[in-house]
Structures are given as C-alpha cells and as structure tokens.
Chain A
Amino acid sequence: MMRRVPPVSDQLRALDSARWRIAISLTVAMTVVYVGFILLIAYAKPLLATPVTDGLSLGILLGALVILAAWLLIAVYVRWANRHYDTAVAAIRRGAGPR
C-alpha cells in the first residue's frame, strides 16, 4: 500500500504542528475539567453539597457545566478546523498542483 509521495513541505509541517498543538491543548483542557470535577467529588464532598438555590446543589450545577464544557471545546475545535485548517489544507493542495 506504500507508494512514493513528495517530501513533506514546510507548509504542511507547520500545519501539522498547528493541528496537533490545538488537538493536544483541547484534550488537556477536557481532561483537566473532568479530572478536576472527579477530584472535587473525591476530596470536597461538603463543598459540592452546598445549595446554590432551592433544589440545585453546587455538585449538580458543576456536573451540568462539565457537559457544557465538552460541547464548548468541540465547538472551539470545529470553528478552528472549518475556518483555518480546511482552507490551509486546500491552499497547500493547490500549491502542490495535481499529483
């Protein structure tokens, strides 16, 4: 399945680094949010039991916010990928000419 490919250009290498930087930063952000939530559950039970209003504890509020954070991080990635990444890939492809 291997075939000859042109050497990876500097432009592609730069795009590659940018993609992985974004991917890893966002993965780390999700991990921090989620593991932080679990650590609060494990070590700060009374804090999470604090009522925010009638019927809403801080724990339930933060739990719903973790789900919102997952949505938000995905939205950040999709926005970046649609606006910058796709156009950059298309530009490099045009620059490389038909293969």
Chain B
Amino acid sequence: MNDTAQPNIIAMGGFVLFIGLSLVITWVAARRTTSTEHFFAAGRSITGIQNGLALAGDYMSAASFLGIAGLVALSGFDGLIYSIGFLVGWPVVMFLIAEPLRNLGKYTFTDVVAFRLRQTPVRVASAIGGLAVVAFYLIAQMVGAGNLIRLLFGLPYETAVIIVGVVMLAYVLFGGMLATTWVQIVKAVLLLGGAFLLAMLVLLKFSLNPLALFAEASRQYGAAVLAPGRLVSDPLDAISLGIALMFGTAGLPHILMRFYTVPDAKTARVSVSVATAVIGAFYLLTFILGFGAMVLVGQDAIRAVDAGGNMAAPLLAEVVGGQAFLGFIAAVAFATILAVVAGLTLAGAAALSHDIWVSVVRGGHASEREQFVVARLSTVLLAVASIVLGIVFKGQNVAYMVGLAFAIAASANFPALVLSVFWRGLTTRGAQASMIVGTIATLLLIYLSPTIQIDILKQPTAWFPLRNPGLVTIPLSFAVGIIVSWIAPEPDAARRFSEVEHRIHFGD
C-alpha cells in the first residue's frame, strides 16, 4: 500500500458489489416484510445454522477483525487476551439465556424481564440500559467505519460515515430483520472465508505449521512476543475487563434479539453452537493473521500506516496476495462494518418502538399498522442519530467505547435478565432498581476511572482505580435487585412465576 489515500480499484469494485448484493437481498426481503413480526423477527423463519452464522456476523465486528489482528501484530500474546475474552461469553449465552429468552419474549430482551412484572416501570428502565449499550456500540462502529474507509478507500471521514449510515438505513428500513439477517450471513461467510484464505497464504510460507510462524516471530522480535507483557499490569483490572467481556455478551440487545428470529428453543440452541464454532475458529485464525503480519509485514511498516495497528490485516493481504487480495479484504472489512451497524440499529429501533412506544405510551394497545409505522420511524431516527454521533465523536478511541458498551450490558441488562428467569422473588421495583443502578454506576465509575480522569482530563490521580468497572458494578447490580425485592415483596409477581416456569420449558 503505497499511500492510504490511493483508492484501490478492486477494493472499490468489491465495495460496490457488496452494496449491490445487499440491495438485491433487501429488494427480495422487502416483499416478504409485511408486518412488525417480519420487521423485527424475520417471521421466526430463520434456521439454526442461518441464525448461528448471523449471530457470528453480528458479533465479529471490524474491531475484532482489524483491531485484534493489529493488536497481536504489535504486541504479540497480549492481543490474544482479547480474542479469548470475546469468545467465553458465548457459553454463558447458551447455558443461561438463549432458550429461556426465545420461549419468554417476542422482540426484545425487555419482554423477558417485564414478563410477570408491571410493564411501564420495567420497560422504561430496561430500554434505558438497552439504548445506552446500543448508543456506545454504535458510536464505536461508526467512528471505526469512518477511519477505516478513509484508510482503505481514501474517502473523507464524514463522507464515509454518511455512506455507511445511508446504505444501512436503506436495507434495514425496507428489508427489516430478514434483509439484515441475510446480509449478516453473507458477511460472516465472506469474513471467515477471507480470514481462512489469508491465514492459509501466510502458512504456505511456513510449510503449513503455525508453530514455525510463531518461532520466526520470536526470532525476529524476541521470545517476549509469545508471553504476557505490559497490557495486563494490574490483576484486578484484568479480571474486571475479563468478566465484563464474558457477561456483557449475554446482555447485548442486538445479539439477544436474534434469538427471536428462529421458530423454537431447540433452534436457538443450534444457533449458539454454530455461532460459537464459527467465532472460535475466527479468533484462532486471528492468532495466525496477527503473527503473520508481525513477521511478513513488520511492526514498523504497520505502525507507519496506522499507529493503532488497524491496517495490519489489509497490509498482510497485500504482501501475500497482491493488490487484488488487498481489495478483497478491504471490501470484506467494509461489509463487516455495515452489517454490524445494521444489527445495532434494528435493536435500538425495537427498544424505541416496541418497548417505549407500543408498551409504555400506548399501554400495549397499538394497531399492527401503527406498530409497523413506528418501527420504521424509529429506524430512521436511529440511522440519523448514528451518522450525527459518528461525526461528533470523530477521533474517540474505538476499543474503549466497545469496552464501555460491554460494561453497561453486563451490569445493567444481564443481572435483571438472569434474576427474572431464575428467581421467583424478583419484583418490579427490584428489576427497575437493578437496571438503573447498573447503568448509572457503570457510567459514573467510568467517568471516575483513570481512563477519563488521567488520560483524557489530565488529572494527577483518579478516584476509582479500575479502568473497567465490571468487577464492582455486576455484583452491585445483582445485590440491588435482590435487596430491593426482599424489602418489598410483590405477591402478584411471585404468583405469576409459575407461568414463567411453564413457558421456559414449553414455549407456550
């Protein structure tokens, strides 16, 4: 890559081809998207394997493809800590969340929390937590999108953000969940295929032996690249980040929403198995891509293009496969960004229209036509918001925003979700307090953390020592939910728990 401002013809071609393909998918999906159930849940018609690929597509963001490959290329072993942390949340989703969620809800995870409680207070609190997660994740993706498209295609940052926002809006608005799901599937296959091909081209230079590659890395850069280094200096900080990544996955609204697109709980189970297999394989490939870039491109060459290392994978593609392969990988990275942004927008629109408008403002009584119109208006609102936020937050640290989104998901959404399906004693006030305290405590402790106080505000010390508050806020949120429920029991909610117990297993 001589200069990043030079557009690559093949990358441009791939980029246009992918937009064209998503519009064809949208056109086909639009004709079947005739109701709210189609718009938010693809008519419950997605198969387990399809949904597994789509879940993987929703989860493997550009941050994990380009970011982790870059982190491994620049710091070796330390980068792998992220790969592993992002995977271990999936077993938690499988064991505690997927099947009960499918059997108890309709469109959002809030449906499950509110199932046997008073609707309005729970829906409002839960929508706040859900929308906070969507907002931070969306900002991270849009900022990442702007930077990457600028580097890959030479377009100005603002233009790139607007293109992503508008294309995403077109296919979410007209194609709903069905189009979003198929775009995720195409993207997941392209991303996994691209990463596999790239890893194979790297390994061909090392007689297909990953250990020969790692050995070469340690010869060139010292044995330290194969061992833990500076990234994890404070043990408590490391554990805090680790559990936020682990339990945050089970609280991400756009991931949870996907379980409503399948017909039953057994299919939800198949979906998680497929997703975990695909995501695990992908993260194992990032080991090879990262060390491959370190050895074949070189750390100095990677830093020269982008100090954060985000261009390690595209640069590696150019070294092993020339301009054509670079173009292909760049187009895959673009597809990745677009698909993740679409999934987030749909989850945000479901919270706004289904939880807030239909359940709270209309008290659950809105005509099908009104629900469908409000769902689409919410989508437009979120797309505009994502473009504006992407431009306003230009220059923010993307990985940090993603960490924030996971911390809120783990502290605000996950505890209430688990308590509502596990514990007969949970009350409306308990659920509400748990979600609100989880959200506010997370935001407050992040504000008081070294990342904001020392790195950004340039204060000499920070009041709160941890960079990620999960270790404090997840237990706090559970404790608040339990204590508030104990203080004032709600006999109605406890009595209706037998309906929950029944539906968790039977689904009707």
Residues of A within 8 A of B (CB): 1-3, 5-8, 12-13, 15-16, 19-20, 22-24, 26-27, 30-31, 33-35, 37-39, 41-43, 45-46, 48-49, 51, 53-57, 59-60, 63-64, 66-67, 70-71, 73-75, 77-78, 81, 86, 89, 92-93
**What 0/1 pattern do residues 217 to 234 of B give for CB contact below 8 A with A?**
110000110111000101
Contact call B242/A38, Cβ cutoff below 8 A? yes
Chain A hits for B212, CB < 8 A = 55
How far does the Cβ of B372 sit from chain A's closest Cβ, in whole Å?
20
What residue in chain A is nearest B92 (Cβ atoms)? A27
Most-contacted residue by chain B among A16, A41, A51, A77 (CB, 10 A): A41
- Determine whether the beta carbon of A55 is less than 8 Å from that of B218: yes
Instruction: Flag if B276 contacts A23 (CB, 8 Å).
Output: no
A-B contact pairs, 13 of them (CB 8 A): A1-B115, A8-B498, A27-B91, A33-B88, A35-B239, A51-B223, A60-B80, A67-B283, A70-B90, A70-B280, A74-B272, A74-B276, A77-B94
Give the docked Cα–Cα distance between A89 and B505 (Å): 7
B506 touches A35 (CB 8 A): no
B280 and A71: CB pair below 8 A?
Answer: yes
Interface pair B280/A39, CB less than 8 Å apart = no
**B301 interface hit (Cβ, 8 Å):** no
CB closest chain-B residue, reference A54: B215
CB distance from A62 to the nearest CB of B (A): 9
Total A-B pairs, Cβ < 8 A: 154
Residues from chain B with Cβ under 8 Å of A55 in the complex: 210-218, 226
Q: What residues on A are CB-neighbors of B238 within 8 Å?
A: 38, 41-42
A7 to B223, CA, bound (A): 64
| A interface footprint on B465-508 (CB within 8 Å = 1, 0 otherwise) | 00000000000000000000000000000001011011011100
Q: Are A45 and B91 interface neighbours, CB within 8 A?
A: no
Given A56-B211, A63-B84, A71-B280, are A78 and B92 also a contact pair (CB < 8 Å)?
no
Q: Which of B56-105 contact A (CB under 8 A)?
A: 77, 80-81, 83-85, 87-88, 90-92, 94-96
CA distance A12 to B276 in the complex (A): 29
Which 4 residue pairs of A and B lie closest in terms of their CB atoms, listed nearest first?
A: A55-B215, A49-B227, A42-B235, A55-B211
Q: What interface size band does chain B fall in? A: 35 or more
Min CB distance B216 to A, Å, is 8
CA–CA, A14 to B449, complex, Å? 46
- Give the distance to chain A from B506, nearest Cβ to Cβ, in Å: 6
Q: Which residues of B contact A74 (CB under 8 A)?
A: 90-91, 94, 272-273, 276
**Are A59 and B227 in contact, with the CB atoms below 8 A?**
yes
Given the known inter-chain contacts A39-B239, A67-B84, please indicate yes or no for A16 contacting B232, CB distance below 8 A. Answer: no
B73 to chain A, nearest CB (A): 15
Q: For B209, give the chain A residue with the smallest CB separation.
A: A55
B498: contacting residue among A7, A24, A38, A42, CB under 8 A: A7
Distance between Cα atoms of A70 and B94 in the complex (Å): 11
Which B residues are CB-close (under 8 A) to A16? 501, 504-505
- The residue in chain B whose Cβ has the minimal distance to the Cβ of A60 is B226
Asked if B303 lies at the interface with its beta carbon under 8 angstroms from chain A, I say no
In the complex, whether B269 has a CB less than 8 A from a CB of chain A is yes
Closest to B95 in A: A23
Q: In the complex, are the beta carbons of A49 and B223 less than 8 A apart?
A: yes
A78-B88 in contact (CB<8A): no
Once the chains bind, are A70 and B87 in contact (CB under 8 Å)?
A: yes
- Residues 259-301 of B, flagged 1 when their CB comes within 8 A of A and 0 if not, give 0000000100100110011001001100100000000000000
Q: Does B27 contact A (CB under 8 A)?
A: no
- Pick the contact of A30: B85, B88, B116, B228 (CB < 8 A): B88
CA distance A75 to B96 in the complex (A): 15
Residue pair A12, B90 in contact (C-beta under 8 Å): no
Q: Is B351 part of the binding interface, using a Cβ–Cβ cutoff of 8 Å?
A: no
Nearest Cβ on chain A to B240's Cβ, whole angstroms? 10
- Report if B243 contacts A (CB, 8 A): yes
Chain B min CB distance to A77 (Å): 6
B91 touches A70 (CB 8 A): yes
- Residues on B with C-beta less than 8 A from A49 are 223-224, 226-228
A37 and B83 CA atoms in complex are apart in Å by 13
Report the bound CA distance from A7 to B497 in whole Å: 11
Knowing A34-B242, A48-B228, A49-B223, say if A56 contacts B90 (CB, 8 Å): no
Minimum C-beta distance from B251 to chain A (A):
14
Complex interface: chain B residues within 8 A of A66 (CB): 84, 87-88
The answer to whether B506 touches A89, judged by C-beta atoms less than 8 angstroms apart, is yes
CA distance A77 to B272 in the complex (A): 11
Residues of chain B within 8 A (CB-CB) of A63 are 77, 80-81, 83-84
